[in-house]
Structure 1
Amino acid sequence: MAGKITPAEGRYGGKDAAQRQAERRARFIEAGLDLFGREPGYRGTTLAELCKTAGLSSRQFYEQFHALEDLLAELHLMVHGLAQRSVFEILPDIQDLPLAERLEHMLRAYVEGAAADLRHARIVFVEVIGVSSRMDLQRLERRSTWISFFTAITDDAVARGEMPPADYAIASAAYIGAVNGLMHDWVVGWVDATREQIADELLQLLVGRYKIAI
């Protein structure tokens, strides 16, 4: 009979338990994106509202997560992963370009990956701030990965003879801080600009600090 669970197959509606769990998790993630990444935001979202948006029950939520913060943490990592993949996917194609062009491609790929969906940008640059010590640590760990990545980029430029030898770790940390600060202010509406204008400004900050000709 269609829609009936059978001991032999362990299926319902043609889907096994793992598939159903995965679909429910995806629905909670999409609901979290809508509520945390728009209004009312993470702090204004209740479990009841999240479940209503997902069309699922609180029991089904607790099968996936321990608390709303767990969902926020997963969304935060998910967006960072999207931004990282956006950058890494273009690296093989730009390795032979001049430094200024490589940096522009990487920067625009990052902004596109992190902020093409404004829900993503709000979660990463606004909603996670000050939630808890756990989220602060996760946020700083992800920030540290970008600082390390950027330091590696400058080290590579030094090795290529495109930049003078120096310890660029402090500059990398300062620049990543500027990226986070500007993105935050843009997402909350304190800076009136398009995504392309934000990318342009971040590029100008970058080439100005390192005195790179564009």
Structure 2
Amino acid sequence: MGGMEPSSLRVYGGVDGDHRKAERRVRFLEAGLDLLGAPDADATLSVRGVCKRAGLAARYFYESFADREELTAAVYDQVIDDLATGALAAVTAAPHDAAAKVRAGLGTVIGVVGDDPRRGRLLFSTRAGAVLAERRQRSTLLFAGLLGGQAKDFYGLGDSADLDVLSQFAVGGLAQTLTAWLDGALRIDRDDLVEHCTRIFLAIGAPVRD
């Protein structure tokens, strides 16, 4: 042992220590999503509950997260990052047609939250712990900015107060619509929901692009 190189000490079972730490972090994020996205979830996590769900000791939790609030924020941010990245990729890949691009973006968003109800409940449930409330406000601004930016690029528009208002209105309205859909208050299948939302987005954007 005395002659072993420091780099060798970080390797166990053929897996580098940093890689194992990253794998444990992913397990904690997945456990956090399971708990935060459960139908009867509270707005806050417990470290003990997350560790039990992940099947890992508490000492591993603290190598990646300072506390439960930091994990909650990381889970939410990961879901938002995946959603935004997927939606932008779909819009970029769609034909150069307004309806096609709007449909692609909305279809991706609705598909993600529909396929994984945990994500939908995390993003759109009425639970409002301090961390989630702050993150939801920031994500609304993020998606409004993305929507406005896409509209500017597609139509060659400059900065516009009208566009800013419509972007905020569209994103807020979509969030409420998805909340009702995920809760079962809005009884409509996914494809029809995408089509309805596409028509609405195109209609409310008409005054800005005309």
Q: Give the TM-score of the pair, scaled to structure 1.
A: 0.80
RMSD after superposition:
2.8
The answer to whether 1:126 aligns with 2:121 is no
Question: Structure 1: any 5+ residue segments left out of the alignment?
Answer: none
Summarize the Cα distance change of 1:202–1:92 in structure 2 as closer, same or farther, 3 Å threshold: closer
Question: Which has the larger helix fraction?
Answer: 2
Quote the residue 2:164 is aligned against. Answer: 169
Distance in structure 1 (CA, Å) of the matches to 2:72 and 2:51: 14
Equivalent residue, structure 1, for 2:174: 179
Secondary structure at the residue paired with 2:74? helix
Q: 1:85 to 1:199 in 2, by over 3 A?
A: same
Partner amino acid, structure 1, of 2:29: I
Tell me how far apart the structure 2 counterparts of residues 130 and 138 of structure 1 sit (CA, whole Å).
10
Secondary structure of the corresponding residue to residue 162 of structure 2: coil
C-alpha displacement at 1:38, in angstroms?
Answer: 1.5
Secondary structure of 1:69 counterpart: helix
What corresponds to 2:60 in structure 1?
Answer: 60
Q: Do the aligned residues in 2 keep the contact of 1:83 with 1:112 (CA within 8 Å)?
A: no
Deviation by residue 1:122-143 (Cα, 9 ceiling, x = unmatched)? 112227x5211x5433322221
In the alignment, the residues of structure 1 paired with residue 140 and residue 129 of structure 2 have an alpha-carbon distance, to the nearest angstrom, of 16
Q: Which residue of 1 aligns with 2:26?
A: 26
Do structure 1's residue 17 and structure 2's residue 14 form an aligned pair? no
| CA distance, structure 2, for counterparts of residue 182 and residue 152 of structure 1 | 22
The percentage of aligned residue pairs carrying the same residue is 24
TM-score (norm 2): 0.81
Q: Within 1, Cα distance between the matches of 2:180 and 2:92?
A: 32
Within-5 A mapping of 1:64-83: 64-83=64-83
Equivalent residue for 2:185?
190
In 2: Cα distance, 1:62 partner to 1:190 partner: 40
2:20 aligned counterpart, secondary structure: helix
In the TM superposition, residue 39 of structure 1 has moved relative to its aligned partner by 4.1
- Cα gap change, 1:137 to 1:36, in 2 (>3 Å): closer
